[in-house]
Amino acid sequence: MAEANGRRNTADEDIRILAFLCNWCSYAGADLAGVSRLQYPAQVLDVRVMCTGTISPYFVIKAFQEGMDGVIVAGCHIGDCHYLKGNYMTAKRFQFLQRALEVFGIEKERLRLEWVSAAEGEKFANLIRDFTRTISELGPSPLRQGRKEVAVR
């Protein structure tokens, strides 16, 4: 991501990633990565949700429509959901979302589902590094290309 002369590649800095994180596991894993001072790219905007089972496919598609280049959904490991079946529902919705994104011309690699526990800070940091690298290689989302930024006054 960094060039030989020490300057960052502006294309990498322009990458936008949204991460929906389960309050009980994945968000706590992200917190552990932070307090452990693990290094990972800063292009990710975290959205804390009580359970990944509450994430409507609408919000994932809307994220891409609003200019996100990639979306991560991370929750409790299967069988460890604090709401019993939230991650099972998420896994089913994920399959639907992958097919829906194809219709919009969005590569399936731009959406990722992972299970990260509160004790897996290093796994979270690795996930963010890997996903950011994947999105950087893909470049900006086809939905974002040609889109003009709106100035907020």
**pLDDT for the residue 23:** 96
Distance from the Cα of residue 27 to its chain's centroid: 12
**pLDDT for the residue 17:** 97
C-beta of residue 118 within 8 angstroms of C-beta of residue 24: yes
Whole-angstrom distance, CA of residue 120 vs CA of residue 16: 24
Please determine, for residue 145, whether its predicted confidence score (pLDDT) is greater than 90.
Answer: no
Please determine, for residue 77, whether its predicted confidence score (pLDDT) is greater than 60.
Answer: yes
Q: What is the mean pLDDT of residues 113-138?
A: 97
Q: Which two tokens stand for residue 12?
A: 């990498």
Q: Which two tokens stand for residue 20?
A: 């929906």
What pTM was estimated for this model as a whole?
A: 0.85
More confident residue, 6 or 69: 69
Whole-angstrom distance, CA of residue 50 vs CA of residue 19: 13
**pLDDT for the residue 143:** 84
Confidence of residue 152 (pLDDT cuts 50, 70, 90): very low
Least confidently predicted of 3-7, 63-67, 92-96, 116-120: 3-7
Nearest-10 crossing angle of helices 86-103, 57-65: 40
Please determine, for residue 1, whether its predicted confidence score (pLDDT) is greater than 50.
Answer: no
Q: What is the mean pLDDT of residues 81-106?
A: 91
95-115 tens-digit pLDDT: 999 999 999 889 999 999 999
Nearest alpha-carbon partner for 72 in 129, 110, 16, 15: 110
**pLDDT for the residue 58:** 94
3-45 tens-digit pLDDT: 333 334 445 568 999 999 999 999 999 999 999 999 999 899 9
**pLDDT for the residue 55:** 95
Q: Which domains does the chain possess?
A: 13-138 (3.40.50)
Residue 5 burial (10 A CB sphere; 0-12, 13-18, 19+): exposed
